[in-house]
Amino acid sequence: MGSTIFSKIIAGEIPCRKAYEDDRVLAFHDIKPQAPLHVLIIPKIEIPTMDDVAPNQESLVGHMVWVAAEIARREGVAKDGYRLVFNCRDNGGQEVYHIHLHLLGGRQMAWPPG
């Protein structure tokens, strides 16, 4: 255990600005926000990429999505809308190999993404 910076955040060894926490997930504000609201929702267990999600972990990933929507409501961006993103491996732009859901809100998003 403890192979990425997110494991250290879960362990409390590196501080974060917490947005939500329960027994399965932790959510915290991104250190380099790409929007007025930029929160990362991560599972407390280590799963390196979305390609590694096992069939019996689908409810965990669904819970991450629900938590993102709940944070969006609490932070007041739900009515205007927001974007949820999972980056997977090199072509997806993944930097930290512990799956995380980006919640981006508070501004108009562009499409297609870069």
Q: Is 32 in the site for ligand 5GP (CB under 6 A)?
A: yes
The one among 95, 108, 111, 114 contacting ligand 5GP by CB under 6 A: 95
What's the CA gap between 92 and 69, in Å, rounded?
Answer: 22
User: Taking contact as CB under 6 A, which single stretch among the options 19-27, 53-61, 67-75, 94-102 is the one that binds ligand 5GP?
Assistant: 94-102
Q: Which CB atom, from 5 or from 45, has the smaller least distance to ligand 5GP?
A: 5
102 is catalytic: no
Look at the block and give the residue holding tokens 């399965």: 24
Q: Is 35 in the site for ligand 5GP (CB under 6 A)?
A: no
What's the CA gap between 6 and 80, in Å, rounded?
Answer: 30
Question: Dihedral angle at the C-alpha atoms of 88, 34, 43, 82, nearest 10 degrees?
Answer: -90
Query: CB of 76: closest distance to ligand 5GP in angstroms?
Result: 21
Q: Is 84 in the site for ligand 5GP (CB under 6 A)?
A: no
What's the CA gap between 44 and 98, in Å, rounded?
Answer: 9
Mode of pairing for the β-strands spanning 101-105 and 37-43: antiparallel
Spatial contact of 86 and 99, defined as CB atoms under 8 Å apart: yes
Residues that bind ligand 5GP (CB under 6 A): 5, 14, 16, 28, 30-32, 40, 87, 93-96
Which are the catalytic amino acids?
A: 100
